[in-house]
Every structure is written in C-alpha cells, then in structure tokens.
Amino acid sequence: MAYVTVPNAVQLGRCGELIAEAVFEENLYKTCRVNHEGFDLLIFGHDGGESYRVEVKTASVPQGAGGLRYKFMTSKGSKSKRIINTEDTDLVCYVALPLRRCVIRCVSTVEAKRTTLRTTDFDECEATQIREAIAKVRKRKC
C-alpha cells in the first residue's frame, strides 16, 4: 500500500498539537510539548503525580462521500510501518483540523496502521473522552 506524502505535514502536525494541547489545558491538565520518542505531548493529571504520553494525529481534509470521515496514520516507521502501541504512547489524540475538534482514546484501541473516524465521533464531549481514555490506561498499568 502506497502512502501519500503530505507536503506541509510538519505544519499540519504542529497545528494539531496546538489544538490538542489547548483541549487538555482547557480540561485542567498541565501539558508539555516534547515531540520525542514517539509521542508529542506529556500531560500531567490533576493530582500532579501521574503523567501520560500523548501521540497527536492530525487530518486536514475529510474523506469519502460528503466528507463524513477522517483518516489518520496510526503507524510508525519510515520504510516498514508498524502499528503504534503501548510501548510508544498512552493516549492517541486525533485532531480534525477543519472541525477544530479532538477524539481522545487509549492507544490500545488502535488496531490498524490507518484509523478512520466518522465526523460524528468528534461531537462527543472531549472532557468525557479524556477521563475514559485515562481510566483505560490506569487499568492497563495496574
């Protein structure tokens, strides 16, 4: 499968990271942009003790009939791709740039090298998504 190269991918990714950072900060999580070791943000919980790695994936153009879906590359590597996993990050934050909205999920939900989300997935409350995703990460770490 050939992957299309996006000419302005760095700028689009940075925009997505800034939107994701704003969503976490708005929900009272401290954030730190790191873009290192396979994740883009570190967020710190309300209690200040726990931190979570966040990989931000950004889509700039809706796909499909009527633009009802967004596609995200949920893989790592330049030549041979592999699905991102718990070794890489704790959470995945999918950002739809035209909507300026995020979907936040535990990385264990990633099942393929490319993830497709419906536009309606971005309607769910981001605060609720963050709480549910962090709860899944905590269960996994116990």
d(CA 90, CA 115): 17
pTM: 0.90
**Which domains does the chain carry?**
9-141 (3.40.1350.10)
Per residue of the chain (142 residues), give pLDDT as tens. Answer: 455 566 688 888 899 999 999 999 999 999 988 866 668 888 998 766 789 999 999 999 888 777 789 999 998 877 788 999 999 999 999 999 999 999 999 999 999 999 999 999 999 999 999 999 999 999 887 6
Q: Is 82 exposed, middle or buried (0-12, 13-18, 19+ CB in 10 A)?
A: exposed
